[in-house]
Structure 1
Amino acid sequence: MPKKKLTQAEMPVADYAFYGLVWAGTVLTDRVDRALSKAHDLPVSWFEVLLWLASSPDPVPASVLGNSTMLSRSQVSRVVDALQSRGLVTRTPSPRDARSVEVSLTPEGHRLFEAADATRRECLAPVFTDLLDQDDLQALGTVWQKLKADKDA
């Protein structure tokens, strides 16, 4: 006898909300990863590092990238190695701490980020931003801030 799926009404609200977050994160990340890999040979983890670097006017300490991204410090190090080998980022010794390095985008890194960011936005529009209004997006931002604030506590 085939088993039926639970409906939203049969699931506790907190469980359904959690499932929704997991589903959305998995499906949207996979969609972006496929689009970025196909168009730019750029895995989503690399894009995440580029996003943080593009958002900063100054070079970013490698340790800050490890604390800011969804990647472990060792993953960040491998991603930065790969980005550097493609000429997209540079590493420079930190003027504040001789033991650490700072990472910044090269001009080619900025160009690739701009193109990849346009690809990301284009691929998400029909399944995310076009479906949600400003109130929805603001609510998601508020939820993310609450969840992140608890993580940082």
Structure 2
Amino acid sequence: MKIEDEIQTRKFYNERHKATLNIVFTSNWIAGMLEKRASTHKITLQQYNILRILRGQYPAPATNRLLKERMLDRTPDVSRIVDRLVSKGLVSKGRCTKDRRAVDVTITPKGLETLADLDEPMLMMDVLQENITDAECQVLNSLLDKLRGYRN
């Protein structure tokens, strides 16, 4: 559906205004879909993001600071999110050997299993393959990088 129909307006200042609204709307649409998929394992999208980062570090631990730096959605509440993952048995916390003020966070086998179950659905290949080609994905990626200031 076109953005005009989705938000029920035809009034845009210009194409840049329309593009901005389209990006925000589409980002929220994707986040909602991913949130729903993550919830099948009783985790939030932010918790999934932390598990994904920890799997990338595995078997090495990560600090809350590293998690915060690498998160897609930079939230200040990393410790609260980690505590919830600990209570679910998906991560463990321990004393950081390099910095006594920090805590080491490591993904558990249960956390790795949860991510393995979510790998395919979170890629959203079903939506992407149905709606855009690989070539269009390349153009989209290039345009989004360019929007954020990357110049090749």
Give the TM interval when normalised to the shorter protein: 0.7 to 0.9
RMSD over aligned CA atoms reads 2.3
> Which structure 1 segments of 5+ residues have no match?
none
Rounded Cα–Cα distance in structure 1 between residues aligned with 2:147 and 2:103:
30
Partner in structure 2 of residue 130 of structure 1:
130
Partner in structure 2 of residue 72 of structure 1:
75
Partner in structure 1 of residue 98 of structure 2:
96
Check if 1:5 corresponds to 2:6.
no
| Count of residue pairs brought into register by the alignment | 141
3-state SS, counterpart of residue 102 of structure 1: strand
Partner in structure 2 of residue 111 of structure 1:
113
In the TM superposition, residue 143 of structure 1 has moved relative to its aligned partner by 4.1
Counterpart of 2:37 (choices 26, 35, 38) is 35
TM-score (norm 2): 0.78
In the TM superposition, residue 91 of structure 1 has moved relative to its aligned partner by 1.6
Report the structure, 1 or 2, having the larger helix content: 1
Rounded Cα–Cα distance in structure 1 between residues aligned with 2:129 and 2:105:
31
Partner in structure 1 of residue 51 of structure 2:
50
One-letter amino acid matched to 2:140: L
Rounded Cα–Cα distance in structure 1 between residues aligned with 2:138 and 2:52:
20
> Which structure 2 segments of 5+ residues have no match?
1-7
| Cα gap change, 1:105 to 1:143, in 2 (>3 Å) | farther
Rounded Cα–Cα distance in structure 1 between residues aligned with 2:136 and 2:20:
17
- Identity rate of aligned residues, in percent? 22
